[in-house]
């Protein structure tokens, strides 16, 4: 859920300096979460690259010794198959982690009470990422809002403020003026 200035004003915070400091702290928290997710992805990417380099070096070593025997050729083909499988698995895992993080960040702004709980209801295999890297969640979120509205905050309908303006009508039922009664009591 995103924090909005109007929410803070509705909660009773009217001091502009306090509002600005809360909004700055919220923005810093969001940026911190984004940078943390980015650094986690970068660390995993670096680890996968290092493992890839190790596998490539092992393949090169075996290729240099290829002429030694038929057994070495078999080991080389087995290692190449393992490498190809590992590379495919690693790319799939990295794509899954990227998609999961993108969906988690996108769920922050859909008005959910708890985006971690909402994440359990989403099938990540059915979610596609757009060209900009953001997940396409509109249809999924709409289905969840219809089937499980308790997961989302309800948008408040504007309540009309009905007030009567002008002077109140004269009280014609009572025949006596209350001010005159007080004045008469002092006579």
39, part of any domain: yes
Q: Which of 103, 94, 86 is nearest to 46 (CA)?
A: 94
170, part of any domain: no
167, part of any domain: no
Q: Which tens digits make up the pLDDT trace of 121-130?
A: 777 778 787 7
184, part of any domain: no
128, part of any domain: yes
Q: Which tens digits make up the pLDDT trace of 97-156?
A: 888 887 777 777 777 777 777 788 777 778 787 777 777 777 888 888 888 777 777 766
CB 80 within 8 A of CB 61: no
- Partners of 129 in beta bridges: 135
DSSP 130-169: -TTS-B--HHHHHHHHHH-GGGBPPPPPPPP-----SPPP
Distances (CA, A) of 144 to 114, 157, 169: 13, 21, 53
């Amino acid at each position: 859920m995103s924090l909005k200035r109007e929410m803070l004003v509705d909660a009773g915070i009217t001091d502009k300096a306090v509002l600005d400091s809360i909004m700055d702290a919220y923005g810093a928290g969001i940026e911190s979460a984004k940078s943390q997710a980015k650094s986690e992805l970068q660390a995993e990417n670096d680890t996968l690259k290092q493992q890839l380099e190790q596998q490539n070096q092992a393949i090169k070593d075996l290729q240099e010794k290829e002429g030694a025997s038929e057994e070495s050729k078999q080991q080389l083909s087995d290692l190449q198959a393992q490498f190809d499988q590992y590379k495919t698995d690693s790319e799939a895992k990295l794509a899954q982690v990227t998609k999961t993080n993108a969906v988690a960040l996108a769920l922050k702004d859909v008005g959910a009470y708890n985006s971690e709980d909402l994440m359990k209801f989403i099938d990540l295999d059915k979610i596609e990422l757009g060209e900009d890297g953001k997940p396409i969640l509109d249809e999924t979120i709409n289905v969840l809002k219809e089937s499980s509205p308790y997961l989302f905050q309800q948008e408040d309908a504007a309540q009309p403020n009905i007030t009567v303006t002008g002077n109140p009508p004269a009280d014609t039922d009572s025949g006596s003026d209350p001010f005159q009664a007080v004045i008469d009591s002092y006579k």
